[in-house]
């Protein structure tokens, strides 16, 4: 999606495995079999060194252990390292959307627009057709994206795309929740989170949360007030979706990661709202044959796994020009 990535992806790297990565304070690596292989899925988490050379060494070891040298890789940016904005869709040709959006969001960023990489994907249209079509815009600092891609490249992988948490979680939900119908997902990292309503592989609504897993600890709830604010945010999201879109009503709430305090809190929130709550569990095909390992309880694992899912079988983008496919349906690479 971003121009910061060079066009990579040799034929020898395709058809074996795909790799999803999250590089924040924790390095998470998820390796999935491609559609043409029957190998197990693998995942590993380790502390991420602060200096690039240490990051390359840490990732290189996992690449070697997993036997994925040269395989295509997707990097998922964590919430807080990019902006997800929504604007009225500019009345331009599809191939001109990125450039038009770039100048429309220039004043919304706290760094110069020339230092940003931009990509877009359409927002589903509400039932009231008189409303102007909207466009989702993702913006991230180009230098940070290039640095991450460089670490991945030097570690022996083929960096194919960079995605963001909202899209990685959407793809994980789409691959794992096969019961059909719209759902709302609450996903928390250590310090931030998101609420999003999805249906049929599209993000209808998205809200950022300024708190993370630490805020749902029983000792922290009274201080943060999350026991009141999160159910309210959920209720508003569900009510807006149900009243403004014709995709059917939200039928359940998914929550991730599957952490004890968080899930206990979410089930209480679900009772208040009147909807069942289920853990966002990866589909069986995304798990090792031995079952779900402890690493899958970390938020970074969800981001890495969602990135790998989005890369597997997708027509990844290597530039910032939108795909000829519907952007909302495309596994958009940032």
Band of residue 285 on the pLDDT scale cut at 50, 70, 90: confident
Assign domain 178-279 one CATH number from 3.30.450.20, 3.30.499.10, 3.30.420.40, 3.20.20.120.
Answer: 3.30.420.40
What does the buried/exposed string (b/e) look like for 264-302 if buried means 16 or more CB atoms within 10 Å of the residue's CB? ebbbebbeebebebbebbbeeebbeeeeeeebbbbbbbb
Q: Name the CATH superfamily for 1-82+140-177+282-334.
A: ATPase, nucleotide binding domain (3.30.420.40)
What percent of the chain is predicted at pLDDT more than 70? 87
Q: CA nearest 19: which of 56, 44, 46?
A: 44
CB-facing half-sphere around the CA of 289: CA atoms within 13 A = 4
Q: Please determine, for residue 331, whether its predicted confidence score (pLDDT) is greater than 90.
A: no
**Between β-strands 72-77 and 158-164, what pairing exists: parallel, antiparallel or unpaired?**
parallel
Query: How far is residue 42 CA from its own chain's centroid?
Result: 19
Band of residue 81 on the pLDDT scale cut at 50, 70, 90: very high
In this structure, how many other beta carbons lie within 10 angstroms of the beta carbon of residue 318?
Answer: 17
Query: How far is residue 281 CA from its own chain's centroid?
Result: 15
What percent of the chain is predicted at pLDDT more than 90? 65
Q: What is the pLDDT of residue 38?
A: 53
Stretch 304-318: mean pLDDT, rounded?
Answer: 70
Task: Quote the pTM value.
Answer: 0.88
117-173 pLDDT, tens per residue?
999 998 898 876 657 888 999 999 999 999 999 999 999 999 999 999 999 999 999
State how far the Cα of 269 lies from the Cα of 234, in Å rounded to an integer: 9
| Least confident range of 201-205, 230-234, 310-314 | 310-314
Name the percent of the chain in helix, strand, coil, to the closest 5: 35, 25, 40
Stretch 1-25: mean pLDDT, rounded?
Answer: 63
Tokens of 165: 């948490």
60 contacts 69 by C-beta, under 8 angstroms: no
Q: Please determine, for residue 15, whether its predicted confidence score (pLDDT) is greater than 60.
A: no
Q: What is the pLDDT of residue 297?
A: 82
Q: CA nearest 23: which of 115, 127, 155?
A: 155
């Amino acid at each position: 999606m971003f121009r910061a990535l060079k066009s990579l992806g040799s034929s020898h790297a395709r058809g074996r495995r795909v790799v999803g990565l999250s590089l924040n304070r924790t390095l998470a690596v998820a390796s999935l079999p491609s559609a043409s292989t029957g190998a197990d899925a693998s995942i590993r988490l380790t502390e991420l060194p602060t200096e690039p050379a240490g990051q390359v060494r840490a990732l290189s070891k996992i690449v070697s252990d997993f036997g994925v040298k040269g395989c295509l890789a997707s990097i998922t940016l964590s919430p807080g390292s990019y902006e997800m904005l929504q604007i009225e869709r500019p009345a331009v040709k599809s191939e001109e959307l990125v450039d038009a959006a770039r100048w429309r969001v220039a004043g919304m960023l706290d760094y110069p627009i020339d230092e940003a990489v931009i990509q877009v994907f359409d927002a589903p249209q509400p039932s009231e057709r008189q409303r102007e079509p909207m466009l989702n815009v993702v913006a991230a600092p180009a230098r940070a994206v290039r640095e991450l891609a460089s670490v991945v490249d030097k570690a022996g992988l083929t960096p194919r795309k960079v995605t963001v948490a909202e899209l990685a979680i959407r793809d994980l939900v789409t691959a794992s929740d096969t019961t059909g119908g719209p759902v709302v997902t609450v996903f928390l990292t250590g310090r931030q989170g998101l609420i999003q309503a999805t249906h049929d592989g599209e993000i209808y609504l998205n809200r950022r949360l300024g708190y993370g897993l630490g805020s749902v600890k029983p000792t922290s709830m009274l201080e943060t007030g999350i026991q009141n604010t999160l159910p309210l945010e959920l209720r508003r999201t569900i009510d807006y979706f149900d009243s403004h879109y014709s995709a059917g009503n939200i039928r359940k709430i998914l929550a991730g990661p599957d952490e004890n305090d968080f899930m206990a809190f979410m089930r209480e929130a679900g009772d208040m709202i009147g909807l069942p709550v289920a853990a966002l569990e990866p589909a069986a095909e995304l798990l090792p044959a031995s079952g779900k390992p402890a690493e899958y309880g970390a938020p970074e694992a969800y981001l890495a796994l969602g990135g790998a899912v989005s890369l597997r079988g997708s027509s990844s983008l290597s530039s910032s020009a939108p795909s000829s496919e519907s952007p909302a349906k495309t596994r958009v690479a940032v």
